[in-house]
Amino acid sequence: MSWRIIKTVTILAGVALALTFIANILIEDQQITIQHKDIPQTLEASAMDKLTAEDLSMTTSMFIKQLSAQMNRWAEADLSEQQLKQRFEEELGEHSHFHGFAILENNEKVLEVGEMSQQDASLLSHHHMESEFSDPYEVDGEQYMLMGEQINDHKKMIGEINLSFVKEFVKDMASVADANGNFFVSGQDPKVQWETTKDMPEHLQAQTVPELGWQIVVHSKEQKPEKNQVHYEEQQAVIKFKHPETADAWFADHPELTLIDHTAPFYVVKSKVDSTETLIERLQRDYDLSFVEPNYVFTKQGLEMQTIPNDEFFEPYQWNLTQIEAGRGWNFSNGANVNIAILDTGVDPDHLDLKNKIKHGYNAFDDSSEFTDEHGHGTHVAGVAAALTNNVTGIAGVSWNSTILPVKVLDKDGAGTSYEVAKGIYWAVDHGAQVINMSLGDYYHADVLHEAIKYAYDHDVVLIAASGNDNVSDPMYPANYEEVLTVAAVDDTRNRAFFSNYGPHVDVTAPGAHIPSLFPDNNYVVMSGTSMASPHVAGLAGLIRALRPDLNVEDVYHVIRSTAKDLGTKGHDQYYGFGEVDVAKALESISE
Q: Are strands 137-139 and 174-177 parallel, antiparallel or unpaired?
A: unpaired
Q: What is the CA radius of gyration of the chain?
A: 25
Does the active-site annotation cover 254?
no
Work out the angle at residue 111's Cα, subtended by the Cα atoms of residues 106 and 115, and round it to the nearest 5 degrees.
120
Strands, E assignment, 203-331 = 205-209, 214-218, 236-241, 257-263, 266-271, 289-293, 297-300
Helix 447-458 with 418-430: angle, nearest 10 deg: 10
CB of 413 within 8 A of CB of 375?
A: yes
Catalytic residue among 97, 351, 375, 377: 377
CB of 119 within 8 A of CB of 202?
A: no
Q: What H or E segment, with its residue span, contains residue 160? A: strand 155-162
Catalytic residue among 49, 311, 344, 491: 344
CB of 232 within 8 A of CB of 276?
A: yes
Catalytic residue among 178, 531, 536, 582: 531
- The backbone torsions φ and ψ at residue 328, rounded to the nearest 5 degrees and listed phi first, read -70, -30
CB of 21 within 8 A of CB of 375?
A: yes
CA distance 588 to 546: 13
Does the active-site annotation cover 377?
yes
CA distance 574 to 577: 6
CB of 209 within 8 A of CB of 54?
A: no
Q: Which of 579, 581, 577, 580 is nearest to 504 (CA)?
A: 577
Does the active-site annotation cover 128?
no
* Residues identified as active-site: 344, 377, 531
